[in-house]
Structure 1
Amino acid sequence: MHTAITIDALKVLDAIDRKGSFAGAAGELFRVPSAISYTVQKLEEDLSVSIFDRTGHKAVMTPAGRYLLDEGRALLEAAETLAHTTKQVAEGWETRLRIGFNSLLPAQCLFPAAQAFYNLGVPVDVQIVEEVFAGTWDALQSRRVDLIIGADQISKPAGNFATKALGEISFVFAVAADHPLANAAEPLTEADIARFPAAVAADTSRALPPGHAGIFRRQRTLTVSNIDQKIAVQEAGLGVGWLPLPRIQQALAHGRLVTKAVHEPRQPIALHLARHSEDQGKALMWFWNRLSDDPGLGQWLDTTST
């Protein structure tokens, strides 16, 4: 569909407004004044509106002209962005990178890498998405994200994925300091634990089978959205359960939580980076290489076994 409004015409209006005159716009755009006047007149004829009021000694932009310019500047910016990102894509850079992270890890573990990436000056939009348990693999498999941090091997689906070991995360059974189990004899048994609600972080998987670790049959549950909320629930004494040890060091040090030995301890979980093997975008591979040995991430994991 043909439209009278062109990028060139909008550039002319923008230059006139910023320079204050047709002559100033002509100088900035390296054109003769008559060419500037012709562009404006042609636009007015095509739109059947007056863009400038010429009744005075100086042409003044009409309300319709001001509206056209204000809205048109968004189009000019979009066109400039489109030109830049097209070149960016041609050079192998994505326009957007979506990173999913396992809720067992805090979002701030990615901040040092994100800061280093932005220091490169590459205009790639980065989106960080939290997922819980099998939701990390589900997000990658369905391509809701391009890279996942903290993928386990338990819920890994079939597919052509590249993975890289990051380290292990240990778990402890924790309760609030004033919870009835805080002073119970150890090791705790299933009968001891099942008397109290389990704090549960809901698995965000949409297609893969959800995880349900550490919940006993007939045990009541209090379900929340992520590990941060699960920790808060357990600190409040509303539920009990397993928590990633690196995430609760301060809560343990300040006495908000206490750990309890249980009859069947939970083994550490090995966490990995993962992506689709065929994906090789520059931003993706930059984060892949950076996060493979990143101090911001490593402080939350035991890397001695990798």
Structure 2
Amino acid sequence: MHDFTLQELQCFDAVATHGGFEAAAQALHRTHPAVFAAVAKLERRLGIGLFDRTGYRVRLTDEGRAFHARARTLLQEMRSLRRFAAQLALGQESELRVVIGDFCPPRPVLGMLSNFFARYPETRLHLSLEAVGGPVERLLDGEADLIIHGINKRDPALEWIDLGKVRFVPVAAPGLVPKVHTKLRPEQLRSRTQAVIRDTARHSAPQEHFLVEGAHQCTVPDHSTKKEVILQGLAWGHLPGFLVEEELRAGSLVSLAGKHFPGSVEDLVAARRADLPHGPVAQALWNHIQDRRA
């Protein structure tokens, strides 16, 4: 058996992943004959048939399936090594862009960032606050190096560190809603104004959280403003539990949580692009967050 090449492995993986030579060629931006020849050459080098070509679609043989599982591990390590080399070539960054999302508890996160950047005075922190779909959009658009918000954990372009869970509670001032708060139905709140956070995403599909259809809406830029609007009896809405604990205990706000308004629990994470290299300071920040997340 002769040594095989990385290009042959990449072509084999693409055919196995995409289910055919034409689809693999498009994914790799190569010609169909080039991909076919690379896989055939790999099979000759190994002395085994990797694909069953007798059907309409090529399928992995048993040997091909076992080989693919090991090959994917090697290719992942190669991609990781390339990213690491790119990180070394970047040198220490002059700026890092961090976006904090609307339901992030500000005090501990800002304290963590302050502690970290005090150790890297040559790297400027560019900090911005975004809401709803804004943080993830900034990250995917290349306008942020790291976000602290919620993400779609099924997105292969992202990697994350779990920081905790944030409970959202539907609340109102006592005089705004009927006394039987926990049995309210959506139609009973259509005549009341609902406070909602303004989505700062510029081109992503709008996200609608907890909206009562047909209700008048009051849009606000952040949860602190939203809380004040609700405290003044001008609207009702959902707020992070950490922001209203004292008011709920004191009775200046009442919870509307019940069968029809259960609230929610959202994962708060630190997230970054998994498909891009990160410089040494960005990696140090990532490690710092992992160490401090408790």
TM-score scaled by length of structure 2: 0.63
- Alignment match, 2:238: 242
Q: Is residue 114 of structure 1 aligned with residue 113 of structure 2? A: yes
Q: Which residue of 2 aligns with 1:258?
A: 254
The 1:221–1:120 alpha-carbon spacing in structure 2 relative to 1, beyond 3 Å, is same
How many pairs align?
Answer: 205
Residue 207 of structure 1: how far off its partner (Å): 1.6
RMSD of aligned Cα (Å):
2.3
Measure how far apart 1:177 and its partner are: 2.9
Q: Which amino acid aligns with 1:113?
A: M
**Which residue in the other structure is 2:124 paired with?**
125
Give 1:108-257 correspondences, 5 Å limit: 108-153=107-152, 160-181=157-178, 183-257=179-253
Q: What secondary structure does 2:183 align onto? A: coil
Within 2, Cα distance between the matches of 1:176 and 1:167?
28
How far off its partner does 1:199 sit? 0.3
- Cα distance in 2 for partners of 1:127, 1:256 equals 37
CA–CA distance in structure 2, aligned partners of residues 161 and 174 of structure 1:
33
- Separation in structure 1 between the aligned mates of residue 277 and residue 244 of structure 2, nearest angstrom: 35
User: Partners of 1:199 and 1:160 in 2: how far apart?
Assistant: 33
Residue 185 of structure 1: how far off its partner (Å)? 4.7
Cα 1:263–1:294 shift into 2, 3 Å: same
> What letter is aligned with 2:115?
A
Deviations 1:156-186 (A, max 9, x none): 7x562222222221111101133234x2353
- Give the whole-Å Cα distance in 1 for the aligned partners of 2:286 and 2:246: 30
Contact kept, 8 Å, 2:195 with 2:236, in 1: the verdict is yes
Shift of 1:259: 1.0
CA offsets, 1:228-277, max 9 Å, x none?
21111111111111111112223323333121233231331122221112
Q: Is the 8 A contact 1:174 1:243 kept in 2?
A: yes
Note closer, same or farther for the CA distance 1:91–1:207 as it changes in structure 2 (3 Å cut).
Answer: closer
Structure 1's unaligned 5+ residue stretches are: 1-88, 299-306
Distance 2:186 2:270 in 1: 34
Structure 2: distance between partners of 1:159 and 1:209 = 19
SS of the residue 1:268 aligns to: strand
Contact 1:202 1:223 in 2 (8 A): yes
Which one of 281, 284, 288 corresponds to residue 282 of structure 2? 284
Pair 293,210 (structure 1): closer, same or farther in 2 beyond 3 Å? farther
In 2 relative to 1, CA 217–91 (structure 1 residues): closer, same or farther, beyond 3 Å?
closer
Contact 1:98/1:127 (8 A) holds in 2: yes
Please say if residues 190 and 216 of structure 1, whose CA atoms lie closer than 8 Å, have aligned partners that are also in contact. Answer: yes
Deviates more, 1:132-141 or 1:161-170: 161-170
Cα distance change on mapping 1:287 and 1:186 into 2, 3 Å: same
Pick closer, same or farther for the CA change 1:294–1:195 going to 2, 3 Å.
Answer: farther
Q: State the AA in 2 paired with 1:284.
A: A
The amino acid across from 1:222 in the alignment is C
Alpha carbons of structure 1 residues 256 and 92: separation in structure 2 relative to 1, 3 Å: farther
* Secondary structure of the structure 2 residue equivalent to 1:153: coil
1:103-127: CA deviations, max 9, x gaps?
A: 1113323222222223314311102
In the alignment, the residues of structure 2 paired with residue 255 and residue 187 of structure 1 have an alpha-carbon distance, to the nearest angstrom, of: 18
* Structure 2 gap segments, 5+ residues each: 1-87
SS of 1:270's partner is strand
- C-alpha separation in 1, matches of 2:291 and 2:188: 41
Change (3 A) 1:294 1:231: farther
The change in CA–CA distance for 1:90 and 1:186 in structure 2 (over 3 A counts) is closer
1:195 to partner: Cα distance: 2.0
Contact 2:116 2:288 (8 Å CA) reproduced: no
Instruction: Give the Cα separation in 1 of the matches to 2:120 and 2:181.
Output: 57
When residues 120 and 222 of structure 1 are mapped into structure 2, their CA distance, relative to the original with a 3 A threshold, is same
Matches of 1:250 and 1:292 in 2, distance apart? 30
Spell out the pairing of 1:10-29 with structure 2 (5 A cutoff).
none
Q: Percent identity?
A: 23
